[in-house]
Structure 1
Amino acid sequence: MTENTDQARTLPAAVERFVLHWGDLGSQWGVNRSVAQIHALLYLSERPLTADEIAGTLGIARSNVSTSMRELLGWNLIRRVPVMNERRDHFAAETDLWEMVTRIAAGRKEREIDPAIAALRACIAEADGDPRVGAVAQRRLRAMLDFTETMERWYGQMLSVPRGTLAKLIRLGGQIVRYLPAKSEP
């Protein structure tokens, strides 16, 4: 958050800490800090907020809020909420954590994993016809594609697992291996 303006609202310390921390995490994950801070504010908000309220609370430019809101709407992490007797748009965040994580994962897959798989396939096709590409490089390209496609298939399978079951699997962590048939690693 930047310097507060006269219209800025004071946040409780815990909320401000979360908003700032979420903004820092967003930056580390390649998300604009303002986008992450707006998401955090809406996530913790007890009611839908207008863009002006968000700008005032976070002390950021209204134009920055508009741009950030478009990005959050594109990720389907926030939605417009109609408010009786109000002409201005109000916004609320998705508050179901499973749904939020699912939407983020789907967006990342679409923007990062799918293009990576396409690029790896193109590299392999190109390498197959080029005698200058050594066996080691070809083997490593295929291994990377195989790994990425395996993770993509796993992701697709996990989408069909009921949330309760998925939560149990996650809580099991490394203990899950005791339920798998014993097999030595290569």
Structure 2
Amino acid sequence: MNIYSHAMELTPVTERFILHWGEMGARWGVNRTVAQIHALLYLAEQPMAADEIVDTLSVARSNVSNSLKELLSWKLVRVVHVLGDRRDHFETSKDVWELFKLIVEGRKQREVEPTLAVLGECLASPELDKESPGVRKRIEETREFIRVLTVWADEMLRQDPETLMKVLKMGAKIRNLVRGE
């Protein structure tokens, strides 16, 4: 252990949260350690140095380093400096709405936009004429669905957290209204 390093003391609740966040991350296609580090930084009261993360989570230094690079590229963590300590420290937002917006925007850039581009290329392809009308229709419907959903998500993410929470809570009421219940 580095003389400057100390592990954060995990309570049973913080440990359970971190472990579960890692499991959920894995289900969402995110490396388990990446998700656990993000959860640790979310719960930590102070920014943490990489070696403190290593000691707290008992994971390899290389794994922490690679995971932090990934989190930095997603803008989910940022480097901060602590007076009297030359090491980089890392923190994440404690605002769940800000994190949600960052995650949605990141996934949009990595997953949705490339999908829309490929669907557009498929529809613009001269080879499309060789496809059945049903195939063409399903590709068009898929692109339109994703486009509309993206426009809606962008509009929702522009709202302040209080308005967005009201919209989310209204979901069931809107469903009942549309169904005539």
In the superposition, the TM-score normalised over structure 1's length comes to: 0.87
Q: Could you tell me which residue of structure 1 aligns to residue 135 of structure 2?
A: 137
Instruction: Check if 1:101 corresponds to 2:100.
Output: yes
CA–CA separation in structure 2 for the residues paired with 1:35 and 1:153: 29
Q: Could you tell me which residue of structure 1 aligns to residue 50 of structure 2?
A: 51
Q: SS at the partner of 2:170? A: helix
Q: SS at the partner of 1:64? A: helix
Q: Could you tell me which residue of structure 2 aligns to residue 4 of structure 1?
A: none
CA–CA separation in structure 1 for the residues paired with 2:127 and 2:8: 63
1:170 to 164, 168, 174: 168
Residues 129/9 of structure 1: CA separation in 2 closer, same or farther (3 Å cut): closer
CA–CA separation in structure 2 for the residues paired with 1:163 and 1:9: 31
Q: Could you tell me which residue of structure 1 aligns to residue 28 of structure 2?
A: 29
What amino acid does structure 2 have at the position aligned with 1:172?
Answer: M
Q: SS at the partner of 2:94? A: coil
What amino acid does structure 1 have at the position aligned with 2:76?
Answer: L
Q: Could you tell me which residue of structure 2 aligns to residue 147 of structure 1?
A: 145
Residues 130/154 of structure 1: CA separation in 2 closer, same or farther (3 Å cut): closer
Q: How does 1:115-126 map to 2 (within 5 A)?
A: 115-126=114-125
Which segments of 5 or more consecutive residues in structure 1 lack a partner in the other structure? 1-6
The one-character-per-residue Cα deviations of 1:91-137 (angstroms, maximum 9, x if unpaired) are: 111110000000000000000000000000111122x6444300110
Query: What RMSD, in angstroms, separates the aligned Cα atoms of the two structures?
Result: 1.9
What amino acid does structure 2 have at the position aligned with 1:34?
Answer: T
Residues 85/10 of structure 1: CA separation in 2 closer, same or farther (3 Å cut): closer
Identity %: 44
Q: CA deviation at 1:173?
A: 1.7
Give the number of equivalent residue pairs: 175
Residues 130/71 of structure 1: CA separation in 2 closer, same or farther (3 Å cut): closer
What amino acid does structure 1 have at the position aligned with 2:99?
Answer: M
Does structure 2 retain, via aligned residues, the 8 Å contact 1:26–1:33?
yes
CA–CA separation in structure 2 for the residues paired with 1:143 and 1:46: 47
CA–CA separation in structure 2 for the residues paired with 1:117 and 1:131: 20
Q: SS at the partner of 1:25? A: helix
Q: Could you tell me which residue of structure 2 aligns to residue 72 of structure 1?
A: 71
The one-character-per-residue Cα deviations of 1:48-79 (angstroms, maximum 9, x if unpaired) are: 11100000111111111011001111111111
What amino acid does structure 1 have at the position aligned with 2:42?
Answer: Y
Does structure 2 retain, via aligned residues, the 8 Å contact 1:8–1:59?
no
Which segments of 5 or more consecutive residues in structure 2 lack a partner in the other structure? 1-5
Does structure 1 retain, via aligned residues, the 8 Å contact 2:122–2:128?
no
